[in-house]
Amino acid sequence: MNVRLDLTTVAEALLSVEEDWPRIDAELNALGIGKSPFTERVRTNMVCAYGYVDQLLEHDIEPFTDVGMEHMLELNHRVHFGLDMDLRAQYAQAVEANIEKFNENVEIIANWYWRHASHGDHALKLAAETYVSILGQPQLFLEGNHRTGALIASWINLRADYPPFVLSADNAIAYFAPSAEIKQFADRSSWRGRQRLPKYRRSFRAFWEQHCQSKYVLPGDRERLVLSN
């Protein structure tokens, strides 16, 4: 049985980002990084999406299987719309375009994942490098690659008994700064971009190992974690 998320603690961390967003935004702007506001809607949609990850763990669904890829799309939908089906219907054209982009770009990431998983690569490597692959160009989704990438990478972690990553006021700057660089320069479609990918994969794995925290899984599951912070 997979470890499960402590959704109350997850929600508290995300609330800290919303409440401290003016400071976070000012620091990001000073670094030349522009981000959309972390609003109440963004927060509640992320809580909903983490709840969905918890359901995937309950049902032992694995990323990058045929079924798992359908759920990866649903995670991205929840990041944008939560459970608001009227809003999804309103943006039906964008939803279809997003599905098309996902289908065009997921195979190369899935092939990488299964090749490295079959070689016995460490779960933290699989998670961190999957995040880089989702965020780098061409991105997997039309929008929400940061948020959905972190959810998918946390899903990989949790299935291997490692703790998840959850954005908080404490780690926001450390998270957004390298993510912005990955988004801008990591490009699988160009020679220069492919040459830079190993650098981003190594540096983001170091971030990932430092900031994934055991407090975001249920107390009764924490003793099962391979890594705890």
Closest-CA residue to 165 (of 204, 214, 113, 206)? 214
Please state, in angstroms and rounded to a whole number, the distance separating the CA atoms of residues 15 and 114.
35
Residue 82 has phi, psi (to 5 degrees) of 60, -135
- The SS3 assignment for 187 reads strand
Q: How many residues does the chain have?
A: 229
Closest-CA residue to 125 (of 219, 24, 207)? 207
Please state, in angstroms and rounded to a whole number, the distance separating the CA atoms of residues 186 and 197.
6
- Domains defined along the chain, listed by start: 7-224 (1.10.3290)
172-221 pLDDT, tens per residue? 999 988 776 666 555 555 545 455 555 666 778 889 999 999 999 999 99
Annotate 98-118 with DSSP letters as a single string.
Answer: HHHHHHHHHHHHHHHHHHHHH
Please state, in angstroms and rounded to a whole number, the distance separating the CA atoms of residues 78 and 45.
6
22-66 pLDDT, tens per residue? 999 999 999 888 889 999 999 999 999 999 999 999 999 999 999
